[in-house]
Amino acid sequence: MLKLDLSKLKGFVPEDYLNARENALTKAADMLANHNGPGGDFTGWVTLPRDYDQEEFARIQAAAKKIQQQSQVLLVIGIGGSYLGARAVIDMLCSPNYNLKKKNTPDIYFAGNGLSTDALLELIDLVGDRDFSINIISKSGTTTEPAVAFRIFKDLLEKKYGKEGARERIYATTDKARGALKGLADAEGYEEFAVPDEVGGRYSVLTAVGLLPIAVAGVDICELMGGARQAMEQLSVGGAENPAWQYAAARHALYQAGKKVELLAGYEPAFRFFAEWWKQLFGESEGKDGKGLFPASVEFTADLHSMGQYIQQGERLMFETVVKFAPKGEFLIPNDPDNVDGLNFLSGKPLAFVAEQAMRGTILAHVDGGVPNVLVEMPAISAQCVGYLIYFFEYVCGLSGYLLEVNPFDQPGVEAYKKNMFALLGKPGYEDMKAELEAKL
Ligand code: PA5
């Protein structure tokens, strides 16, 4: 299903970069399979496409149907790993213009992923008088951004439909035993879905965290899980032929050869949020202990006209990973008898042919400019392919973290800003820290 082309790394990394890492990769793959490496308690995602909770999966499908029938809008409230996966998949499979399209599924808005007053007011306005449901998603159940947004929209819902009507429209995805949201959901009687203990936020898109909103958008979540399962089965066979091993080895070799940035490039506007999801996955997993490739993204060809100059000739610190999908449809470039724009050499050619040559030309130019290239080719933008790609990147990320000798499943750095914010906001328990921080400001 996935084709990986690493030929454009020649000259940038030693010829034997994969062989040189086979032992380390064997060890990394064993730790993932046996859940006994650093952060092993959070490697439940490795077998999730096979071992997911079937009963909960059926409840997700039923809840999605109910939301589709009951509401014109679904508000998905969450941040980081509790939102990016759903947004990525919905953009990819239903279009970034999903809300603007004619459809028989609800509009979906994402809230609680920032603290902008203007964005919040605009969202309240956009929802307007329409019937809406809420999916509040927070594994810890204590994250400030989604908690604030939930307080606001829960209140709106209760004013509109009363407590009972609101209860009918609120779905809570959180830890199965702990946290403020769990307590609230129990007390209010919301339908609950679990973020499994052994799956961290950024690896949770194939749990209820991602699956409920994705199913509400009308995506076939069985197909999505099927694609992920196919990846799981193929990638669990170790060795030099395994594309996840190849990509993880290449990333590590490039990092050791001095490349500090991995630029993920897509040619589809629908891929933009997938790249955001990917950035969180790799950034939070590898960026620690003073190590890690910085994950960045660009959307081509648009960004060739803004970032292209830097990529071609700026600081030589990056390599590029291009993800390419075969198009679903075909569009032929029309002929102009007067050829006023001089484009008739393209008349009758598919737009995809032009895009292909743009991609090939760009890869060659960037490689000549000192930017090594990894090309990932997928046959289509389909639920199966997206499921496959999600698992592929998750698995590569796990292997890569272990090659780098970091714990790819924790995120201690995320806590620093949270503690400072709580202290500055005057949260009880942070009094001493508040004084200390204010003296520094
Ligand atoms: O990957 C992670 O762990 C984070 O990005 C979290 O998903 C994010 O901070 C949101 O946390 P929570 O789901 O606990 O609200």
pLDDT digits (tens, 9 = 90+) for 36-84: 999 999 999 999 999 999 999 999 999 999 999 999 999 999 999 999 9
Protein residue closest via CA to atom 2 of ligand 1: 201
The residue whose CA has the least distance to atom 12 of ligand 1 is 138
Query: Which domains occur in the chain, in start order?
Result: 3-34+230-407 (3.40.50.10490), 45-219 (3.40.50.10490)
Let me know how many helices (H) and strands (E) the chain has, helices first.
Answer: 16, 10
pLDDT tens for 381-413 read: 999 999 999 999 999 999 999 999 999 999 999
Neighbours of 400 (CB within 10 A): 27
For ligand 1, the distance from its centroid to the CA atom of residue 76, given in whole angstroms, is 14
- Of the chain, the percentage scoring pLDDT greater than 90 comes to 95
Residue 139, ligand 1, Cβ within 6 A: yes
Distances (CA, A) of 280 to 84, 162, 201: 8, 38, 10
CA-nearest residue for atom 15, ligand 1, is 138
User: What pLDDT is recorded for position 344?
Assistant: 97
User: Is residue 411 within 6 Å of ligand 1 at its C-beta?
Assistant: yes
Checking if the pLDDT of 201 tops 90, the result is: yes
pLDDT in tens, 228-253: 999 999 999 999 999 999 999 999 99
What pLDDT sits at residue 195? 96
pLDDT at 170: 98
Give the pLDDT band (50/70/90) at residue 423.
very high
Enumerate residues 6+ apart whose C-beta is below 8 A from 319: 9, 12, 254, 259, 261, 262, 263, 371, 372, 373, 374
Query: What pLDDT is recorded for position 142?
Result: 86
Report d(CA 9, CA 13) in Å as an integer.
6
The mean pLDDT of 14-42, rounded to a whole number, is 98
- State the Cα–Cα distance between residues 441 and 369, nearest whole angstrom: 43
What's residue 46's pLDDT? 98
Distance (Å) from CA 422 to ligand 1 centroid? 16
Cα distances from 151 to residues 67, 111, 127, 129, 304, in angstroms, run 20, 12, 16, 18, 42
Tell me how far the alpha carbon of residue 97 lies from the centroid of ligand 1, in angstroms: 26
- Is the pLDDT score of 130 beyond 90? yes
pLDDT at 418 over 90: no
- Two tokens, residue 435: 């004084």
How long, in residues, is the chain? 441
What is the number of the ligand 1 atom nearest to the C-alpha of 411?
3
Task: To the nearest 10°, report the CA torsion of 40, 257, 202, 395.
Answer: -60
Band (13; pLDDT cuts 50, 70, 90)? very high
Q: CA-to-CA distance for 271 and 101, rounded, in angstroms? A: 18
% helix, strand, coil for the chain, step of 5: 55, 15, 30
Mean pLDDT of the chain: 97
Distance 283 CA to ligand 1 centre (A): 13
Q: What is the mean pLDDT of residues 136-156?
A: 95
Model pTM score: 0.97
**Is the minimum distance from the CB of 174 to ligand 1 under 6 angstroms?**
no
Residue 268 annotated as catalytic: no
pLDDT of residue 51: 97
**pLDDT of the residue at 415:** 84
Q: Under a CB-based contact definition with an 8 Å cutoff, are residues 280 and 338 in contact?
A: no
Cβ of 243 closer than 6 Å to ligand 1, yes or no, is no
Pairwise CA distance, residues 90 & 85, whole Å: 9
Closest CA to 134 of 161, 152, 114, 154: 154
Rounded distance from Cα 78 to ligand 1 centre (Å): 8
**Can you tell me the distance from the alpha carbon of 393 to that of 122, in angstroms, rounded to the nearest whole number?**
34
Instruction: Check if 418 is active-site.
Output: yes
Query: Mean of the pLDDT values across residues 359-377?
Result: 98
**Residue 80 near ligand 1, beta carbon < 6 Å:** yes
With bands split at pLDDT 50, 70 and 90, how would you rate the model's confidence at 158? Answer: very high
Q: Is 138 in the pocket of ligand 1 (CB under 6 A)?
A: yes
Among 140, 285, 394, 421, the mutation site with the greatest number of ligand 1 atoms within 8 A of its Cβ is 140
CA 299, distance to chain mean position in Å, is 15
Whether the predicted pLDDT of 432 surpasses 90: no
* Residue 34 Cα to ligand 1 middle (Å): 25
pLDDT at 410: 95
User: At residue 392, what is the residue type?
Assistant: F
CA dihedral 279, 280, 284, 286 (to 10 degrees): -30
Mean pLDDT value across residues 103-123? 97
- Give the single-character DSSP code of 258: T
Using DSSP's 3-state secondary structure scheme, residue 86 falls into helix
Active site residue 324: no
pLDDT, tens digit, for every residue of 292-329? 999 999 999 999 999 999 999 999 999 999 999 999 99
